[in-house]
Chain A
Amino acid sequence: MAVLNEEQSMLRDAAKSWTQEKSPVTAFRKMRDSGVEIGYDAQAWNEMAEMGWAGVIIPEEYGGSAFGYLSIGLILEEMGRNLTASPLIASGVGAASALVLGGSDAQKSEWLPKIADGSVVGALAVDEGAHHAPEKVALAATKSGTGYSLSGAKSFVIEGLAANLLVVSARTSGTPGDKDGITLFLVPADAKGVSRKRLALADSRGAANITFDKVEVGADAVLGAVDKGWDVLEKTLDRVRAALAAEMLGAANQAFETTLDYLKVRVQFGQVIGSFQALQHRAAKMFTDLELARSAVEAALQAIDADSPDVPELVSLSKAKMGDVFHLVSNEMVQMHGGIGMTDAHDAGFYLKRARAAEAAFGSQSYHRDRYARINGY
């Protein structure tokens, strides 16, 4: 655990006790069983917003606390432990970061206070295919009067069904794959021509496919500069990836600890199975990997707070490493629990499903290894 300041320790403690009391895994199970379409409990989200969590990276002048990314990572880690579902990453990190990094004063004034108090849920509509590829933007924005007309489709928009505000990457010039020619737009989710289809995902979290059919927006909907949206988009995505890695760190640690507890109580062959070396050494390997992953995740969040030039490589490092470790630990959680781990009544399946969804979101291990190498010139 990184060395924390007083604010951060308080945030972490508050997140730990709130998630344990108000949002344990049983709450996630209840949410899933209830079939809530948005993929989270709106009442719980209101409570999080009241505690200021949605405004942790938002400047104070816009209603936030500006505690920074390591701080929101601490909250997300605790949420990850308990599989707490919420739009905190999509809205409080994704949409908020895009606005902070690229928004005009008017845009910030209009949206950031509402994101900070939770009354508006933002989401990033960036991907269009089966894999994360933010430069492969085909959704077209063409000049229309004084504004633009958006047509195309976005897939796997996290919290896309719940969102009131969409940050949409669109092509204003060039071809899919070009980083130049991408422009970001702020589009209210209820704008004419926007239609959303809920995605029922294995991890039961909220996501949607969204189509844009001649959606008319004004010139003031452009976030940042026309054709030059990539810079803000990439920085925003890095903040989301780092935040997601923090959630994954919490979930992976809880998956491991739950498994470890089971190894200490499950008796076979007349003794607890945790006394078998075949399992002990796999547990030791997971513990080692979790420690390395923690270092990578915290280093990426700290680099963002320090506005360090190596943010992109440290973020890719952390998402790749964390993805590998969560993958391993979630598989081992099921395997080491044996048959009980295969049952829906047990939590192991939740962690396994969340692991795969989180691995794929905003770049898989393969995506981030490739990106890490490119950033380093090979």
Chain B
Amino acid sequence: MADFGGGDPEAFRKEVREWVDANFPAELKGRPNPMMREERAKPSEAQEAWRKAVGAKGWGTPTWPSQYGGGGLGTAEARIIQQEFGRAGAYNPIGGMGVMMFGPTLLEYGTEDQKLEHIPPICRGDVQWCQGFSEPGAGSDLAALQTRAEDKGDHFLINGQKIWTSGAQYADWCFCLVRTDTSKKHEGISFVLFTMHQPGVEVRPIKLIAGSSPFCETFFTDVRADKKNLVGPLNGGWTIAKRLLQHERGGLSGAGGGGMGGRSLVDLAREYVGVDAQGRIADPDLRTRVVQHEIEGRSFQQTALRAMLESKGNSGPSAATSIMKNAGTSWMQLRHELTLEIMGHQGLGWEGDAFKPEELGAVRGWLGGKAFTIYGGSQEVQSNIISKRILGLPDLTQHN
């Protein structure tokens, strides 16, 4: 393994621990990442200090190349950084779509100039990105998108509407799929970048069933994207989009890996349902379903570990991420459903002091979680991908 440069993992762990102890502001301990929240607009001094400190080290993006501001480290070192942040109750202040999806894609497909311009601000957490993909008429059938980009010599002029744009209200830049050729479907799409801080960009948050507005409608009227910010070839954006979606799906499938946080279903069941004389969850039907869910979660974790070990030496996500997305998101949704069922009437509160924060969170989480099997390619689209790309099953040749 190239990790640790042949050095000692424990020495590296000590270095990280000492650095975190010296740099992480105590008042932020246990706090969530403010990045995608209202408070991002007005971060505290401590939040800013922590972001800048981690950004300067490149430890928010530890495995990215150091020449673009990443940590230049191996996966084992990255794991140690994650563990030491966790130990100190510290969040990784560098994140969002730039880290999860756009950065890895640009590192693969961008020109040297594009990487030098756009990657370092992501590593520092200076710039937040949003994803201009879905449109009202292009959801699961993403390649049906119609937002037009007109060639104006040194730039493109963009007109159209995007929807479900996560965090657009907080974003500085947009990576966007636009139509540059109307005579073709997939081969008429280009991948462009532009700043959200320009005239003609209008963002309207969408209130969802969970009561919050994580997504927006985004309107573009004569918005400008410089030619130097075309990623990949003209009309060659679909390939890049597919690759980016693999990164997105990889990031969305974090089930079983503690991505949910909170107490285990077993703990909750002990409290809300009780146990019998033998210490078993008192409702045998519920107990069976909790066990099944636990077993499913463990086998998902085991698969993530196996995929990681098997891919050592290779880099980047594989087609297997499609399996992980369906398995992981179904698991997370079922966890929310079971949580609500376990809490009974206490798991139905919308607001007010009759309910504990954990109970209110369960309701909002359940509703918000309905998005898991819709976004990033719906459950059904993932199943299409598995059956066609992995299993080699053919397309319908005619409609009867």
Residues in A lying within 8 Å of B, measured CB to CB: 1-3, 260, 263-264, 269-272, 274-277, 279-281, 283-285, 287-288, 291-296, 298-299, 317, 320-321, 369-370, 372-374, 376-378
Residues on A with C-beta less than 8 A from B221 are none
Task: Find residues 270-315 in chain B having any chain A CB closer than 8 Å to their own CB.
Answer: 270, 275, 279-281, 287-288, 290-292, 294-296, 298-300, 302-303, 305-306, 309-310, 312
The 6 A-B residue pairs whose C-beta atoms are closest, nearest first, are A280-B387, A295-B302, A284-B386, A295-B303, A284-B383, A292-B299
A377 partner, pick from B279, B298, B305, B394, beta carbons under 8 A: B279
Task: Give CA–CA (A374, B383) in the complex, Å.
Answer: 35
Expressed in whole angstroms, the minimum distance between the Cβ of B335 and any Cβ of chain A is 16
Main secondary structure of the interface of A (DSSP, over half): helix
Residues on A with C-beta less than 8 A from B386 are 283-284, 287-288
Expressed in whole angstroms, the minimum distance between the Cβ of A315 and any Cβ of chain B is 12
Residues on A with C-beta less than 8 A from B382 are 284
19 sample A-B contacts, Cβ–Cβ < 8 Å, listed by A number:
A264-B394, A274-B393, A275-B396, A277-B384, A280-B391, A283-B391, A283-B393, A284-B382, A288-B326, A288-B386, A292-B300, A292-B302, A296-B298, A369-B288, A372-B295, A373-B281, A373-B290, A376-B294, A378-B266
Task: Give CA–CA (A2, B298) in the complex, Å.
Answer: 16
Task: Give CA–CA (A201, B288) in the complex, Å.
Answer: 30
Task: Give CA–CA (A298, B292) in the complex, Å.
Answer: 19
Residue of B nearest to A257 (CB): B391
In the bound complex, do residue B295 and residue A284 qualify as a contact, i.e. CB atoms below 8 Å apart? no
Task: Give CA–CA (A276, B387) in the complex, Å.
Answer: 10
In the bound complex, do residue B396 and residue A317 qualify as a contact, i.e. CB atoms below 8 Å apart? no
Residues on B with C-beta less than 8 A from A293 are 299
Task: Give CA–CA (A332, B124) in the complex, Å.
Answer: 51
In the bound complex, do residue A271 and residue B390 qualify as a contact, i.e. CB atoms below 8 Å apart? no
In the bound complex, do residue A271 and residue B288 qualify as a contact, i.e. CB atoms below 8 Å apart? no
Contact pattern, B 385-400, Cβ under 8 Å of A = 1, otherwise 0: 0111011111111101
Residues on A with C-beta less than 8 A from B397 are 270-271, 275
Most chain A Cβ neighbours within 10 Å, of B266, B269, B292, B380: B292
Expressed in whole angstroms, the minimum distance between the Cβ of B308 and any Cβ of chain A is 11
In the bound complex, do residue A281 and residue B387 qualify as a contact, i.e. CB atoms below 8 Å apart? yes
Tell me if B81 is interfacial: C-beta within 8 Å of chain A. no
In the bound complex, do residue A284 and residue B387 qualify as a contact, i.e. CB atoms below 8 Å apart? yes
Task: Give CA–CA (A295, B296) in the complex, Å.
Answer: 11
In the bound complex, do residue B393 and residue A264 qualify as a contact, i.e. CB atoms below 8 Å apart? yes
Residues on B with C-beta less than 8 A from A269 are 400
- Given known A-B contacts A275-B393, A288-B326, A281 and B295 have beta carbons under 8 A apart: no
Task: Give CA–CA (A274, B392) in the complex, Å.
Answer: 9
Task: Give CA–CA (A270, B394) in the complex, Å.
Answer: 13
In the bound complex, do residue B393 and residue A285 qualify as a contact, i.e. CB atoms below 8 Å apart? no
Expressed in whole angstroms, the minimum distance between the Cβ of B399 and any Cβ of chain A is 10
Expressed in whole angstroms, the minimum distance between the Cβ of B176 and any Cβ of chain A is 30
B395 partner, pick from A275, A291, A373, A374, beta carbons under 8 A: A275
In the bound complex, do residue A284 and residue B299 qualify as a contact, i.e. CB atoms below 8 Å apart? no
Tell me if B327 is interfacial: C-beta within 8 Å of chain A. yes
Residues on A with C-beta less than 8 A from B210 are none
In the bound complex, do residue B292 and residue A378 qualify as a contact, i.e. CB atoms below 8 Å apart? no
Most chain B Cβ neighbours within 10 Å, of A1, A264, A373: A373
A280 partner, pick from B279, B280, B291, B383, beta carbons under 8 A: B383
Expressed in whole angstroms, the minimum distance between the Cβ of A256 and any Cβ of chain B is 9
Residues on B with C-beta less than 8 A from A284 are 326, 382-384, 386-387, 391
In the bound complex, do residue A369 and residue B291 qualify as a contact, i.e. CB atoms below 8 Å apart? yes
Residue of A nearest to B385 (CB): A284
Expressed in whole angstroms, the minimum distance between the Cβ of B391 and any Cβ of chain A is 6
In the bound complex, do residue B299 and residue A271 qualify as a contact, i.e. CB atoms below 8 Å apart? no
- Given known A-B contacts A280-B384, A288-B326, A288-B327, A270 and B400 have beta carbons under 8 A apart: yes
In the bound complex, do residue B323 and residue A372 qualify as a contact, i.e. CB atoms below 8 Å apart? no
Expressed in whole angstroms, the minimum distance between the Cβ of A321 and any Cβ of chain B is 5
Task: Give CA–CA (A264, B392) in the complex, Å.
Answer: 8
Residue of B nearest to A322 (CB): B299
Task: Give CA–CA (A281, B384) in the complex, Å.
Answer: 7
Sample of 11 more A-B contacts, CB < 8 Å, known A274-B393, A288-B323, A369-B292: A260-B392, A264-B392, A275-B394, A275-B395, A277-B384, A280-B384, A280-B393, A287-B386, A292-B300, A369-B288, A369-B291
Task: Give CA–CA (A243, B279) in the complex, Å.
Answer: 31
Contact pattern, B 315-339, Cβ under 8 Å of A = 1, otherwise 0: 0000010010011000000000000
Residues on A with C-beta less than 8 A from B281 are 373, 378
Residues on A with C-beta less than 8 A from B292 are 369
In the bound complex, do residue B294 and residue A3 qualify as a contact, i.e. CB atoms below 8 Å apart? no
In the bound complex, do residue B380 and residue A281 qualify as a contact, i.e. CB atoms below 8 Å apart? yes
In the bound complex, do residue A298 and residue B306 qualify as a contact, i.e. CB atoms below 8 Å apart? yes
Residues on A with C-beta less than 8 A from B291 are 369-370, 372-373
Task: Give CA–CA (A321, B294) in the complex, Å.
Answer: 11
Task: Give CA–CA (A274, B390) in the complex, Å.
Answer: 13
Most chain A Cβ neighbours within 10 Å, of B275, B279, B393: B393
Task: Give CA–CA (A296, B299) in the complex, Å.
Answer: 5
In the bound complex, do residue B323 and residue A291 qualify as a contact, i.e. CB atoms below 8 Å apart? yes
In the bound complex, do residue B383 and residue A271 qualify as a contact, i.e. CB atoms below 8 Å apart? no
B280 partner, pick from A275, A281, A317, A373, beta carbons under 8 A: A373
- Given known A-B contacts A285-B383, A292-B296, A378 and B302 have beta carbons under 8 A apart: no
Residues on B with C-beta less than 8 A from A369 are 288, 291-292, 295
Residues on A with C-beta less than 8 A from B396 are 271, 275-277
Expressed in whole angstroms, the minimum distance between the Cβ of A292 and any Cβ of chain B is 4
Expressed in whole angstroms, the minimum distance between the Cβ of A249 and any Cβ of chain B is 12
In the bound complex, do residue A378 and residue B287 qualify as a contact, i.e. CB atoms below 8 Å apart? yes
Task: Give CA–CA (A317, B299) in the complex, Å.
Answer: 8
Expressed in whole angstroms, the minimum distance between the Cβ of A299 and any Cβ of chain B is 5
Task: Find residues 360-400 in chain B having any chain A CB closer than 8 Å to their own CB.
Answer: 380, 382-384, 386-388, 390-398, 400
In the bound complex, do residue B393 and residue A263 qualify as a contact, i.e. CB atoms below 8 Å apart? yes
- Given known A-B contacts A3-B310, A280-B384, A321 and B295 have beta carbons under 8 A apart: yes
Task: Give CA–CA (A145, B275) in the complex, Å.
Answer: 49
Residues on B with C-beta less than 8 A from A276 are 396
Residue of B nearest to A286 (CB): B391
Residues on B with C-beta less than 8 A from A283 are 386-387, 391, 393
Task: Give CA–CA (A257, B294) in the complex, Å.
Answer: 28
Task: Give CA–CA (A260, B394) in the complex, Å.
Answer: 11
Expressed in whole angstroms, the minimum distance between the Cβ of A277 and any Cβ of chain B is 7
Task: Give CA–CA (A280, B275) in the complex, Å.
Answer: 42
Expressed in whole angstroms, the minimum distance between the Cβ of A255 and any Cβ of chain B is 14
In the bound complex, do residue A291 and residue B266 qualify as a contact, i.e. CB atoms below 8 Å apart? no
Residues on A with C-beta less than 8 A from B287 are 373, 378
Residues on B with C-beta less than 8 A from A274 are 393-394
In the bound complex, do residue A378 and residue B323 qualify as a contact, i.e. CB atoms below 8 Å apart? no
- Given known A-B contacts A270-B400, A271-B398, A296 and B302 have beta carbons under 8 A apart: yes
Expressed in whole angstroms, the minimum distance between the Cβ of A328 and any Cβ of chain B is 13
Residue of A nearest to B380 (CB): A281
Residues on B with C-beta less than 8 A from A294 are 303, 306
